[in-house]
Amino acid sequence: MKVAKFGGSSVASVEQLEKVYQIIAADSARRFIIVSAPGKRYSHDIKITDLLINYAECCLTKQSVTEVQQAILNRYLDICKPAGLENTFGQIKQAVLNLVDLPTDNEQLVYDTFKASGEDNNAHLVAAYLTSKGIPSEYLSPKEAGIVLEHSPHGAMINMGGKELSPDILAKQVTYVIPGFFGFSEDGQLCTFSRGGSDISGSLVAANIKADLYENFTDVDAIYCANPNLIPDCPTLKELTFKEMRELSYSGFGVLHDEALIPTFYANIPVVIKNTNNPSSPGTMILPDSHATEKRVVGIAADSGFTNIYLSKYLMNREFGFGHSVLNILTEFDLQYDHMPSGIDDISLIMRQDQLTPDIEKRLIERFKTVLHVDEIKVTHHLSMIALVGEGMKQNIGVASRATHALSINQVNIEMLNQGSSEVSIFFGVNEADEDRAVKALYEEFFVM
């Protein structure tokens, strides 16, 4: 069996749904289908998820909801009407209108429920569409699909104790359509992933049914070794390891959610990235086993919007529990860090800048001073993190040297360098203004012969 996930652009219109139907009809092994909410049809279009967030905000602030309700319903109607799914649209309409009756005492639950309705309604729509085209299909809820999650302020987290599907579900000869992006906690409360979380839903279902393959359909032919908008002629990648893809996704590659590979990794299930608009393209295969090639670097990723909090204290290395105290303070402020390079007398906390309001930053600095008695604190905003990724780096000497030299001759100052002992990736912190120049310099060094 295969699990196939279709992203927002793949289900944004009835024309795209026809492509989804053709893909599913071409392979009877594609029995479990994960769908996102309808995405953008064109560059200035609005995703249904964004409309639903606006809808929730209007409800919470007691504003008029008429306009946003109509915008949401129009998106579904534009798909249902030409497909002859008037009855399905009627059910979706009622579900959208009923959202205003939700209790508003738990704001996070309101947002989660509104957002999840985008995928939920679309799964009903896609199941009806496939059935109308001759593929018997049924809606399957995330709960029935065994998607068990844990609450987190930054988006639901995977519970690796997911549940196997019932034998009756597996035995039934139908195609199941499952809404992505959300699931339920052990106590039955709905919770959503961070943006792009339908990728994780597909991975969890693949693990739960012990699929032979997880296919992730998107709007690009394959994964590129760098940003093709910045480097138009950069090559695509035929194959990656899980570790390489995880590093690239986390570091700015937007093709796949950075947490999506975890369930398939543990279940030893290969993943392939394919294009809904060009399904005959082989795509990029992501494999559990390491096939580290002679290539030192397989990809370059970049992501902006980081802050570096630099803490310095003489004899820090002799002070028991200093790092533990740093982490405790971050926990107090509900902050997550991405990197923590250190020296004997200093430590840097690299984190997403959008977590730090001016008030939080001020209170955090005061807390560090009060608890840790540091000699110096310096905060640097507007950093980009550039990642060189490749499992082959550990078999090759001098990758870091070549990278730093390439950045140097292109006048890119390195604010931070971090390399783990696994040697799968090297991270360079640079000013956001230098990001594009840094990526181009590294691409020239490692990919241009």
The pLDDT tens digits along the chain (449 residues) read 999 999 999 999 999 999 999 999 999 999 999 999 999 999 999 999 999 999 999 999 999 999 999 999 999 999 999 999 999 999 999 999 999 999 989 999 999 999 999 999 999 999 999 999 999 999 999 999 999 888 776 678 887 766 788 899 999 999 999 999 999 988 888 999 988 889 999 999 999 999 999 999 999 899 999 999 999 989 999 999 988 988 888 887 778 888 888 999 999 999 999 999 999 999 999 997 765 555 679 999 999 999 999 999 999 999 999 999 999 999 999 999 999 999 999 999 999 999 999 999 999 999 999 999 999 999 999 999 999 999 888 878 889 999 999 999 999 999 999 887 777 899 999 999 999 999 999 999 999 86
Q: Is 129 assigned to a binding site?
A: no
Any known ligand binding at 380? Answer: no
pLDDT at 395: 79
Q: Is 214 within the bounds of a domain?
A: yes
Closest CA to 271 of 293, 239, 301, 314: 239
Question: What's the confidence (pLDDT) of residue 155?
Answer: 76
Q: What CATH number has the domain bearing residue 110? A: 3.40.1160.10
Residues 55 and 204 placed together within one structural domain of the fold: yes
Domain-located, residue 50: yes
* Whether 326 and 277 share a structural domain: no
292 within some domain: no
86 and 123 inside one domain: yes
Please check if 218 is assigned to a binding site. Answer: yes
Please indicate, yes or no, if residue 293 is contained in any of the structural domains.
Answer: no
Q: Is 420 annotated as a binding residue?
A: no
Separation of alpha carbons 113 and 99, rounded Å? 8
Given 261, 287, 313, the domain boundary residue is 287
274 within domain boundaries: yes
**57 annotated to a ligand binding site:** no
Overall domain count for the chain: 2
Of 234, 260, 287, the position where a domain reaches its end is: 287
Structure tokens at 356: 């730090």
- Please report, for the domain that includes residue 430, its CATH number: 3.30.2130.10
- Residue 431 domain-assigned (yes or no): yes
Question: Do 197 and 156 meet the contact criterion of CB atoms below 8 Å apart?
Answer: yes
pLDDT at 154: 62
Q: Are residues 20 and 54 in the same domain?
A: yes
251 and 320 both lie in a single domain:
no
Same domain, 157 and 283: yes
End position of a domain, from candidates 234, 265, 287: 287
Query: Are residues 119 and 208 both part of a single domain?
Result: yes
Query: Same structural domain for residues 338 and 205?
Result: no
Q: Is 149 helix (H, G, I), strand (E, B) or coil?
A: strand
294 occurs within a structural domain: no
250 is in an annotated binding site: no
68 within some domain: yes
**Structure letter (DSSP) for residue 164:** P
- 380 and 310 housed in the same domain: yes
Clarify whether residues 33 and 178 are in a common domain: yes
CA 397 – CA 405 distance, rounded (Å): 14
For residue 224, say whether it is annotated as part of any ligand binding site. yes
Instruction: Verify that 315 and 265 share a domain, yes or no.
Output: no
The residue range of the domain holding 16 is: 2-287
Q: 340 with 440, same domain? A: yes
- 137-161 as b/e, with b when 16 or more CB fall inside 10 Å? bbbbebeebbbbbeeeeebbebeee
